[in-house]
């Protein structure tokens, strides 16, 4: 029986390890979670290390010991942040699975565009948590709650500045109606909203996601934006979606709309966003992501504007962990051992 060496470079629970090892007797699993933290600290910006690594997380073993682990690995299970030189140090590597859903996380490393099969947990992340965040962002501005911090600073209430609006009967546009986007649309529909959505390649014969009134492609986006009171960005970041929301797109949006971004900061041209806010084109923007979020704080023009709610990429976090990364990994491991196609393989040309 051929042995398959699987290396985990992210911390994993004993229960998850047992699930992986139970897939097949051929599996030889090595848990090296935390071993590479020192290297990650040395190769990623300090802002990233502070955000994602513990203050005493400096790794384990010698460089030679860590190299030996990588050199023997046929399959690697990883997370975020990751080793930037993984491909160069793992000559036997055939498959890498990253626990996060976003393929763009890997752009900085040498796995991107390589001969290694790379899969993600797309569609199996904490989709409900993220969808709830998106709806919370909509409500934050719909009810004028952002004005409370302004009034607190001024020590005086400006009653007329709140201008609350009702969500029921309003239109929401979900840009990227995949796993997360479909859940956002479902919650919006439950609140009585009309839901429109876009996907990169919608299938005309496929049923609409629950709660959606219409699902179109990229060419329908501007038409949907002109009708939408709320816009939620949940698409993948690719070359096609970089600065998808630029000056022309903000001009196409319905005046007074609320924008929510739970995808990647690079999808929004921040200069264009600042310009749209300056012209009072938007009621507000809730951003769980921003350009350069792994390198430093947001731009002062955005962070200081009460009409912009910025959080440090926490939309997927809650007291109820529902991430299905290990479910996908185990299913894919069975397929890998059987020589069948894997789910969620990154297409380097498409970008996810």
- Residues taking part in catalysis: 264, 293, 313
Write down the residue that tokens 């919608």 correspond to.
202
| Contacts (Cβ under 8 Å, ≥6 apart) of 52 | 80, 81
Here the tokens at position 167 are: 């969500």
Are 288 and 234 in contact by the 8 Å Cβ rule? The answer is: no
Residue-wise burial string across 62-91, b where 16 or more C-beta atoms lie within 10 A, e elsewhere = eeeebeebbeebbbbbbbebbbbebbebbe
Helix axes 14-21, 325-338, angle to 10 degrees: 20
Q: Is the peptide bond before 81 cis (omega within 30 degrees of 0)?
A: yes
Are 163 and 194 in contact by the 8 Å Cβ rule? The answer is: no
In the chain, at which residue ranges do the beta strands (DSSP E only) sit?
A: 4-8, 27-31, 75-78, 95-98, 117-119, 171-175, 194-198, 212-216, 230-233, 257-261, 282-287, 308-310
Provide the 3-class DSSP secondary structure of residue 311: coil
CA 147-153-154 angle, to 5 degrees, is 90
Are 97 and 119 in contact by the 8 Å Cβ rule? The answer is: yes
CA 3 – CA 15 distance, rounded (Å) = 22
Are 285 and 146 in contact by the 8 Å Cβ rule? The answer is: no
In angstroms, what is the C-alpha Rg of the chain? 22
CA 341 – CA 117 distance, rounded (Å) = 11
Q: How far apart are the first and last CA of the chain?
A: 34
Write down the residue that tokens 């649309």 correspond to.
185
Here the tokens at position 30 are: 């090595």
């Amino acid at each position: 029986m051929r042995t398959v060496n699987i290396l985990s470079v992210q911390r994993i629970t004993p229960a998850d390890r047992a699930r992986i090892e139970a897939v097949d007797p051929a599996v030889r699993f090595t848990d090296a979670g935390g071993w590479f933290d020192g290297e990650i600290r040395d190769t990623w910006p300090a802002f990233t290390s502070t955000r994602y690594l513990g203050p005493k997380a400096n790794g384990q073993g010698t460089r030679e010991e860590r190299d030996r682990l990588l050199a023997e690995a046929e399959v690697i299970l990883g997370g975020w942040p990751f080793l930037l030189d993984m491909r160069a140090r793992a000559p036997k590597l055939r498959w890498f699975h990253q626990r996060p859903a976003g393929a763009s996380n890997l752009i900085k490393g040498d796995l991107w565009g390589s001969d290694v099969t790379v899969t993600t947990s797309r569609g199996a992340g904490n989709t409900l948590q993220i969808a709830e965040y998106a709806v919370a962002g909509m409500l934050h501005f719909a009810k004028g709650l952002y004005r409370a911090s302004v009034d607190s600073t001024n020590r005086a209430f400006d009653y007329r500045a709140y201008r609350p609006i009702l969500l029921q009967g309003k239109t929401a546009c979900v840009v990227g109606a995949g796993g997360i986007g479909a859940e956002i649309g479902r919650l919006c529909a439950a609140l009585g909203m009309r839901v429109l959505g876009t996907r990169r390649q919608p299938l005309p014969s496929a049923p609409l996601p629950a709660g959606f009134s219409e699902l179109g492609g990229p060419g329908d986006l501007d038409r949907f934006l002109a009708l939408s009171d709320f816009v939620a960005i949940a698409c993948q970041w690719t070359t096609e979606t970089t600065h998808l929301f630029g000056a022309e797109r903000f001009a196409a949006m319905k005046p007074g709309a609320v924008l929510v971004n739970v995808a990647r900061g690079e999808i929004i041209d921040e200069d264009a966003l600042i310009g749209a806010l300056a012209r009072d084109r938007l009621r507000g923007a809730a951003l769980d992501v921003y350009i350069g979020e792994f390198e430093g704080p947001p731009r002062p023009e955005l962070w200081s504007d009460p009409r912009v709610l910025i959080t440090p990429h926490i939309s997927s976090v809650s007291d109820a962990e529902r991430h299905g990364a290990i479910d996908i990994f185990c299913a894919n491991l069975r397929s890998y051992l059987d020589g069948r196609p894997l789910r969620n393989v990154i297409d380097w040309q498409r970008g996810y």
